[in-house]
Amino acid sequence: MIQLLLFLLVAVMLFFSLYLLARRSSHAEGSAQDLLEARQALNALQNGLLPQEILGRIFAKEDLDYITSATPRCIHELLLEERKRIALSWVGQVRRQLLSLRQFHLGSARFYAQLNFRTEIRLAVDFAALQSACRALQFLLYLRGPYAAPRMVEATAAAAAKVCGISEKSLAFLKPTHLSVIADSSSRDRATL
């Protein structure tokens, strides 16, 4: 009886080891996808969603002033409706891209980037705070329109840019210059072989 139990225990341990190995290899396959998604999220945030140029235009008060002073009420309503749609789309996209970046930091970043424990904790807190800020901003924009919280928009964008800065360092090895160095060294290796 004891022997049977021992055999069963060994079998369970073997199955568990196999499960761990399988999980590890599937993670290795998925990690390239994680990296790609993180890089895309970072590009979308840095080039499309956070530049002051586009933010300044979406939430520009001068457009509202112009519409209020020079056009009928229905145009005023149309502008508010359109800007609200764009503002909600903006904050929704910022939130989604931040989630994608957080996923990268939770799952794969430690394999590629040498972030110290303090930075990781700070990043986790920043991500959590940003997610809450985005939710609150969505709620405010939905209820009170696109011009309701200009300071909060600025603060959220600034905090997101800060997180992007840290993520940029984690993903720096994916930059074309780094990749060309890797490609060069791999082609040299092939030549040597």
The stretch among 7-15, 18-26, 83-91, 137-145 that binds another protein (CB under 8 A) is 83-91
Half-sphere exposure of 88 (CA within 13 A, CB side): 14
The stretch among 80-88, 128-136, 139-147, 169-177 that binds another protein (CB under 8 A) is 80-88
36 touches another protein by CB under 8 A: no
The stretch among 25-33, 54-62, 119-127, 150-158 that binds another protein (CB under 8 A) is 54-62
C-beta separation of 108 from 41 below 8 A: no
Amino acid at 177: T
74 touches another protein by CB under 8 A: yes
Q: Would you say 90 or 127 has its CB closer to another protein?
A: 90
Q: Would you say 53 or 189 has its CB closer to another protein?
A: 53
71 touches another protein by CB under 8 A: yes
Among 31, 79, 106, 115, binds another protein (CB under 8 A): 79
Burial of 108 (0-12, 13-18, 19+ CB in 10 A): buried
CA distance 70 to 6: 86
Token pair 């229905």 in the structure block, residue: 74
Name the 3-class secondary structure at 116. coil
